[in-house]
Amino acid sequence: MTKILIVDDSKFSQKITSSLVGKNLDDVSFDYADDGEEGLEKFREIRPDYLLIDLLMPKLRGQDLIESVRQIDFDAKIIVVSADVQKRVRDVIEKMGVLSFINKPLNDEKAKTIADIIRKGAQ
């Protein structure tokens, strides 16, 4: 079972992400966190195989969450799913060693990209 932690302050986005990504993967379970702080707590507690992280969130922003997660597990597998379309933001985040930076809204094609990354990682 592949454990995926979705960290996003929008329940709407959580629902879309789990539904579209789940449709493209077998044997997967989802956990959710509504902000960066909760995301960090759940990461410690669950130790998910993958994290799908939004950037603009209350309490602890996505970028800070990625840094905190990296301090705990440098090899944590992180995919960013964000509405921020700025090239500079993408550049900064990609340099943090994330597996991919996907722009919202998620559609089937983007969900398949995420599923492919996860599937390859499981092999």
Which residues form the interface with other proteins (CB under 8 A)?
Answer: 9-13, 56-58, 83-89, 104-105, 107
Neighbouring CB atoms inside 10 A of 96's CB total 14
Residue with tokens 């996907």: 102
Residue 65, helix vs strand vs coil: helix
Minimum CB separation of residue 55 from other proteins in Å reads 9
Closest distance between other proteins and the C-beta of residue 32, in Å? Answer: 13
Q: 52 with 17: CB under 8 angstroms?
A: yes
Whose Cβ is closer to other proteins: residue 53's or residue 76's? 53
What beta strand segments (E) does 1-123 contain? 2-7, 28-33, 50-53, 78-82, 100-103
* Cβ 116 to other proteins shortest distance, Å: 19
1 vs 85 by CB, closer to other proteins: 85
Nearer to other proteins, 45 or 108 (CB): 108
Based on CB atoms, which residue is closest to other proteins, 7 or 76?
A: 7
